[in-house]
Amino acid sequence: MKRYFQMKRIKIIGTGSYVPEKVLTNFDIEKMVDTSDEWIRTRTGMRERRIASEKEKTSDLAVKAAKNAIEDSGIKPETIDLILVATATPDMFFPSTACFVQSAIGAKRSAAFDISAACAGYIYALSVAEQFIRSGKYETVLLIASEIFSRYIDWTDRSTCVLFGDGAAATVLKGIDGKKKDGIISTLIYSDGRYAEFLYLRGGGSSCPLTHESIDNKLHLLKMKGNSTFKIAVKNMTEAARESLTSNGYKVSDIDLLIPHQANKRIIDAVAENLDIPQEKIFINIEKYGNTSAASIPLALDEALREGRIKEGDLILMVAFGGGLTWGSALIRW
């Protein structure tokens, strides 16, 4: 295997995404719980979200996104050294979802494993990929974020059932020689387990195995303390964004595009206000997909590229927050 110990740049050379065909609108949810389209749009910024079919697995979504990213990058699956899948909704406890993806795309020589950091999963996986490439261990990494949260939602709970959607997105990262200063500038990841009860899914793990009783009590479904999560999400995303910029000698005004985790439009607006960044410099697609957890940032990145919102030389800041609690940011020169 070729070694890259003098590697200076890590570039995203391909992106791809996939969302299920089924669309669940706010008007559909109106028929399920006591809520309204106006309330959902006002409180979250969401109009609709995608829902996986009964036959689709998290790995199925991941494979489709991965194939699109591989095609966009122009590489062959056999050249991939490592596959990372960021997901909180894996196919099963083990094997990892990444192993199913590896088999499906024919990446015969790659290592493969999952990363669980909830909605911050893509940033966490990006940081892991960065270290593997910078160390010279690997040259090409396929990073996928894929989620089917619709399987873990209490569809009678109007406070959470409106929020989440299903989807997947992928990026191909490669170590590039040369003196040009584009590529990943830095990644920062953080966690604080003291607040784990703000957002969690208890049932099914070793602390709460699935039983008839646990299912009857809906312990296998997502729980969230919305107000508490909102406040700390705004605070930590703002601080992570500022740290990314100041530690690398940049100002907020240097940002060409902010790609935040698409959890709630009010969270995005609050972070933007704290940073004093104009709306035209923020990419938002939450109205179409809802919160796709780890997939939200790479899905937004892929869409921003397709829409021409990113051009060569742009400074891109990504910031996310998720259960754990976990959060992080990434700064990229395109």
pLDDT tens for residues 11-49?
Answer: 999 999 999 999 999 999 999 999 999 999 999 999 999
Distances (CA, A) of 309 to 82, 231, 259: 29, 29, 11
pLDDT of residue 284: 98
> How many angstroms from the chain centroid is the CA of residue 40?
22
Residues annotated as part of the active site: 119, 261, 291
The pLDDT of residue 1 is 42
Structure tokens given for 153: 């939602």
Q: What is the pLDDT of residues 68-87, one digit of tens each?
A: 999 999 999 999 999 999 99
279 and 195 belong to one structural domain = yes
Q: Residue 233: name the closest of 269, 208, 207 by CA.
A: 269
What per-residue confidence (pLDDT) applies to 8?
57
What CATH number should be reported for the domain holding residue 308? 3.40.47.10
What is the SS3 assignment for 210?
Answer: coil
Residue ranges of the alpha helices (H) in the chain? Answer: 26-30, 37-44, 58-73, 97-105, 121-134, 212-216, 226-246, 265-275, 286-289, 296-306
- Last residue in a domain, options 142, 176, 210: 176
Do 187 and 142 reside in the same domain of the chain?
no
54/141 same-domain check:
yes
Number of domains in the chain: 2
Domain membership of residue 144 as a residue range: 9-176
Stretches in the chain below the pLDDT threshold 70? 1-8
End position of a domain, from candidates 113, 146, 176: 176
Name the one residue in this structure whose structure tokens are 């009857």. 216
What pTM was computed for the model? 0.95
One domain, residues 124 and 233: no
